[in-house]
Amino acid sequence: MMTRTLGLAFLLGTSLFAACAADGTDTTTPGDDELAGENGADGEKADGNALQDTFGIYTAQKVGAFECNGAGSCTHVDLVRAGRSTTTCADNSSKASCEVRGLDFTKLGLSSSKLADVTTKLQASAATPEIGPQLLVRGKYVHGSNPLNPGVDWITFQVTELWVAQIPDGVTDGSLVMIRDNGIRCIEAPCPSLNEARLNSTRTMNIHGIDWPAGLASSIQNKIYTATTKPDGVIVAGDRSHGTVLHLPTNLRTVNQAFVNIK
């Protein structure tokens, strides 16, 4: 059984009162995801028609749970252009994924507690690979020198934007989309007040709400839904589902994992 959150608004005179419908208990059904998979129409840069630019976002997953030999660590981080089959690496080659020695978070100015949480998330993706990436990043490759073999390229990734997974037992399965409040307000429900944009794509669509997994803590739901009102939105890994409100059909996004921007 899934629960839904639907964006509603009521226009009374000149005042706009935005509200959030109480979670329903109607069972939702899976549907074909219009934003799933590459289809040749994703583009290679933002076209200005979306609420947000979702290009340049990578999944980051650590490979190897432990350091092997100190400064010459054999662990590394795999970067994948989220939602796409190829990724441009530091040497300008195109591969399914690109290997870097590590992630450099210094430009973000994270507090010690936030950095510890981020490090724990990254380590979890190595210790339990089946949960998938727990970090999404924007940034740039940085060339350096291997500390054990000077002159050998030592590539790191300098992170300039960071999204962190919020659901402890979640998995990064399904389409990765950035969800934001689109500003649409309706007199009657259902109201398509959320916009979702596929990562690294120009494809977008408006939806009616979020289809929460059963048992997800209300505090996490609130944090995720609040993020949809922010300029950076929230990035969700999930699938298409459908429900009904007042006997009318709704388009929803399920939540397998959600990533909130912390810098």
Tokens for 32? 């074909």
pLDDT tens-digit series, residues 168-222: 989 999 999 999 999 999 998 899 999 999 999 999 999 999 999 989 999 999 9
Is 41 a residue whose pLDDT tops 70?
A: yes
| Contact between 135 and 163 (Cβ < 8 Å) | yes
- The secondary structure of 32-68, three-state, reads CCCCCCCCCCCCCCCCCCCCCCCCCCEEEEEECCCCC
Distances (CA, A) of 207 to 17, 71, 128, 240: 20, 48, 33, 10
Q: 101 vs 152, which has greater pLDDT?
A: 101
Amino acid at 130: E
Q: To which residue do tokens 């380590």 refer?
A: 123
Output the pTM of the full model. 0.87
pLDDT tens-digit series, residues 134-147: 999 999 999 887 76
Tokens for 67? 């350091």
Q: How far apart are CA 81 and CA 176, in angstroms?
A: 11
Q: How far apart are CA 46 and CA 40, in angstroms?
A: 15
- 208-214-215-218 Cα dihedral, nearest 10 degrees: 10
DSSP symbols for 67-111: -SSGGG---EEEEEETT-S-EE-TTS-EES-EEES-EE-GGG---
> Dihedral of CA 107/93/36/203: which sign?
positive
Q: What are the φ/ψ torsions at residue 115 (nearest 5 degrees)?
A: -65, -40
Q: Which residues pair with 243 in a beta bridge?
A: 250
Distances (CA, A) of 97 to 124, 173, 213: 19, 17, 30
Cα end-to-end distance, the chain, whole Å: 34
Looking at the chain, the whole-number percentage of residues with pLDDT higher than 70 is 84
Is 158 a residue whose pLDDT tops 60?
A: yes
